[in-house]
Amino acid sequence: MADWTPTDYLRFADERSRPFTELVTRVPGDHTSIVDLGCGPGHLTAVLRSRWPGAAVIGLDTSPAMIDRARQADPQGTYAVGDVTDYASGSSRDDADLVISNATFQWVPGHRDLLPALADRARRVLAFSVPGNHDAPSHVLLREVAAREPYATAVGPVEVRATGDPAEYLEILARPGWTVDTWETTYTHLLPPTDGTHPVLRWIAATGARPTLAALAAYDAAHDTALQDAFEAEYSAALAEAYPLRPYGTALAFRRVFVVAARD
């Protein structure tokens, strides 16, 4: 899959950052060392520094483009290319007081199985949020349109990156010596009008639809076709029915699931 594009991801930085800010407020205790798994372009490191001044923060991400952007924007920070699975295995970096992650675990195959090990690597707290919108119209329509020909030949099955409900994460992480707080919030983001691209397509193109669009772009390059443009037009038409354009913007309901597991 093509590398992430930090500029596209940061287009809705305020909306994407809000769950992380609210997660941080629910993390108990003082911490002197923090590992941020899936730190992206490093735009949230300031939130961690504000909450825990003086803490040593290490940001890890699998995307070299994101890490480069983080280093440019925050030259005093510490950022490295790193994988969640490697970190869970203990082969990457030292343990930290707080291990935290925002909208990353849905990209990690078998992330539920890794959670106990990730908690063990946290000396005090494991905290994370993940999208809970795999059954939202934006994602259902993405899968439906991608399953049609000629797109299906280029894309193949679109993976459902399903995450757990709060109760499921509680069941996984609750054990003697731990207190686990889980909850969910549905945000209604008001996306501003765009220059012709449906606002929800612009939102999802930088995240959930990225693998599909990258596959179409690669197919077009190899076969001298224009499937990506045709797909975006068809997908946009479907999005317009599910998410009507209004003069004041387009409402996008976005469910998030939160977990804070703290050692007693």
Q: Which residues contact 249 (CB under 8 A, 6 or more apart)?
A: 190, 191, 192, 193, 199
Residue 14: which pLDDT band, with cuts at 50, 70 and 90?
Answer: confident
Q: What is the mean pLDDT of residues 152-164?
A: 85
Query: Does pLDDT of 147 surpass 70?
Result: yes
Q: What is the mean pLDDT of the chain?
A: 91
pLDDT of residue 157: 79
- Is the pLDDT at 251 greater than 90? The verdict is yes
pLDDT at 50 over 60: yes
Domain boundaries, the chain: 6-263
pLDDT at 3: 56
The Cα–Cα gap between 109 and 215 comes to 19
Query: Which carries the bigger pLDDT value, residue 55 or residue 5?
Result: 55
- CA-CA distance, 205 to 229, in Å (whole number)? 13
Structure confidence at residue 8 (pLDDT): 67
State residue 92's pLDDT score: 65
pTM value? 0.91
The rounded distance, in Å, linking the Cα atoms of 199 and 193 is 6
| Per-residue pLDDT band at 13 (split at 50, 70, 90) | confident
- Is residue 10 very low, low, confident or very high in pLDDT (cuts 50, 70, 90)? low
Residue scoring higher pLDDT (208 or 96): 96
Which pLDDT value is given to residue 162? 79
Has residue 32 got a pLDDT over 70? yes
Task: Give yes or no for residue 2 having a pLDDT over 70.
Answer: no
CATH superfamily of 6-263: Vaccinia Virus protein VP39 (3.40.50.150)
In angstroms, the CA 194 to CA 23 distance is 30
Is the model's pLDDT at 175 over the cut of 60?
yes
pLDDT band at 9 (very low <50, low <70, confident <90, very high): low
Q: Which token pair is 227?
A: 């499937």
Q: What's the Rg (C-alpha) of the chain?
A: 19
